[in-house]
Copies of this chain bind each other. A is one copy, B any other.
Amino acid sequence: METNYEKGLEMLGKMVSPEILQDTVERVKQFSPDMAKLIVEFPYGSIYSRPGLDLKQRSLITISSLVTQGAEGQLDFHINAALNVGLSPDEVVEAIMHCIPYAGFPKSLGALGVVMKVFKERNITY
């Protein structure tokens, strides 16, 4: 039977490019293998891999949580993931806009800045 670590790695493979995976999980792994293991196993192996919601639904929830807590540093990874699992650029921008009445303009505008950067890197003309 597959371990949560294996399930997590497989899930991450669907969500981001090998380059982004290298830049994020691998960089943590060199510093603290235990921390990297927790990242792969818990959010990706135990949560994202659960049935009940598809990856597009899960991406919307993750993005909304990151916007709401002002976690701009992690948003880059998850906007890339959202596009990779099939959300359209329009759905990603719309999700940020939907957060405005709940999380407020300051956090939504901060998030929009990250979206603009990611779209530019991916040559998405929006």
Measuring CB to CB, which residues of chain A are less than 8 angstroms from any residue of chain B? 28, 31-32, 34-35, 38-39, 41-43, 46-48, 50, 52-53, 57-58, 60-74, 90-91, 93-107, 109-110, 112-113, 116, 126
Interface contact B43-A93, CB-CB below 8 Å? no
Nearest chain B CB to A70 CB, angstrom units: 6
Q: Which residues of B contact A93 (CB under 8 A)?
A: 32, 35, 52
Given A28-B109, A31-B116, the answer on whether A64 and B68 have CB atoms closer than 8 Å is yes
C-alpha gap A63/B61 in the complex (Å): 8
The oligomer's copy count stands at: 6
Interface contact A100-B47, CB-CB below 8 Å? yes
Interface contact B71-A110, CB-CB below 8 Å? yes
C-alpha gap A68/B126 in the complex (Å): 29
Interface contact B62-A97, CB-CB below 8 Å? no
Interface contact A39-B74, CB-CB below 8 Å? no
Interface contact A70-B68, CB-CB below 8 Å? no
| Given A35-B112, A43-B101, A43-B105, 4 new contacts (CB under 8 A) | A32-B126, A52-B91, A53-B94, A60-B60
Residue of A70, A71, A73, A98 with most partner-chain B CB within 10 A: A98
